[in-house]
Amino acid sequence: MSDEKRVDASRRVLLAATCAAGGVAGLATAGAFVSTFQPSERAKAAGAPVEVDIAGMAPGEMRTVEWRGKPVWILKRSQEMVAALPKHDGELADPLSKRNPDELTPPYARNEHRSIKPDVFVAVGICTHLGCSPSTKLSPGAQPSLPADWPGGFLCPCHGSTFDLAGRVFKNKPAPDNLQVPRYMFAGDTKIIIGKDEKGEA
């Protein structure tokens, strides 16, 4: 092999290595640039909207996500759960969510199921009494610390406040108000954005 061919071969190797290194650097830069579009942990804590994919959630399933440092529940209610909601209105302190509506219930959730879609309930999982996080007691029927005709819902373990499957507080309980429904919206059939609705961010 001549010296000229050896030089050409070494140049090709050097050129290939340079291109590979440049490509890796370019991908890394692009990846870092794209990641800037995602809200940082600090932004989330400050209140940046959170997107949740609820595809595949089964009826009766509940998920908890964090928004502004608070637990937010997403409950996929079954048809039976939705049908049971109006049956205990007389036992609730605020069945139509008239108390503190601007603070606790956006206009699109001021209905009997307190949600945009009847089968998907979104609420901040913090008791309106002293800020404890209620336990899920979704199954109806007698259970410890609950009445025999319990319709399903949530029980605050701190002072015994109870809420139905729409986050509405039962009468004669320490909690003064229903659970808060945060501002939220659907971005398609299976994606929810918490902390933002058609009027803007919370």
CA–CA separation, 41 and 35 (whole Å): 12
**Residue whose entry in the numeric block shows the structure tokens 């809420």:** 163
CA–CA separation, 29 and 11 (whole Å): 27
If you ran DSSP here, which 8-state letter would residue 31 be given?
H
Structural element, H or E, at residue 163: strand 162-164
Token pair belonging to 77: 């209610």
- Asked if 127 and 161 touch (Cβ cutoff 8 Å), the reply is yes
- Asked if 77 and 118 touch (Cβ cutoff 8 Å), the reply is yes
Q: In a 3-state reduction of DSSP, which class is residue 98?
A: coil
Is 88 assigned a catalytic role? no
Single out the catalytic residue among 88, 113, 129, 159: 159
**Could you give phi then psi for residue 52, rounded to 5 degrees?**
-125, 130
Cα-based torsion angle of the residue sequence 120, 124, 127, 130 in order, rounded to the nearest 10 degrees: -170
Catalytically active residues are 159
